[in-house]
């Protein structure tokens, strides 16, 4: 069995399992298209955090830039 670098392995796909690959040189095996549980939760957390940041920034910007209604200004002066 020869040693080879993973980047240059001549991978072949198992005909019985489309997610299973074997290197022809070093016989190393790989499972492709298998998701780890933590990757999914990390992706969901990042999406939720981005949405929260974007909506909080939008709400704060709207509060700062909203002009007062002219009726409110007249009522405050009276």
Q: What is the pLDDT of residue 70?
A: 59
User: What are the residue boundaries of the structural domains of the chain, listed by start?
Assistant: 1-34, 35-66
The pTM score is 0.39
Inform me whether the pLDDT recorded for 5 exceeds 80.
no
The Cα–Cα gap between 22 and 13 comes to 7
Gap between the Cα atoms of 65 and 63, Å rounded = 6
pLDDT in tens, 26-64: 888 888 876 667 888 899 999 999 999 888 876 665 555
Residue 55 confidence (pLDDT): 85
HSE of 71 in the Cβ direction (CA atoms, 13 Å)? 0
Task: For 11-30, write each residue's pLDDT tens digit.
Answer: 899 999 888 999 988 888 88
Show the CA angle centred on residue 52, arms to residues 39 and 42, nearest 5°: 5
- 24 CB-near residues (< 8 Å, 6+ apart): 9, 10, 11, 12
């Amino acid at each position: 069995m020869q040693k080879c670098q993973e980047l240059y392995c001549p991978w072949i796909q198992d005909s019985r399992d489309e997610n299973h690959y074997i290197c022809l040189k070093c016989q190393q095996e790989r499972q492709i298209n298998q998701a780890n549980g933590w990757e999914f939760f990390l992706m969901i957390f990042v999406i939720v955090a981005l949405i929260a940041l974007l909506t909080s920034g939008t709400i704060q910007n709207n509060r700062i830039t909203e002009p007062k209604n002219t009726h409110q200004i007249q009522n405050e002066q009276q």
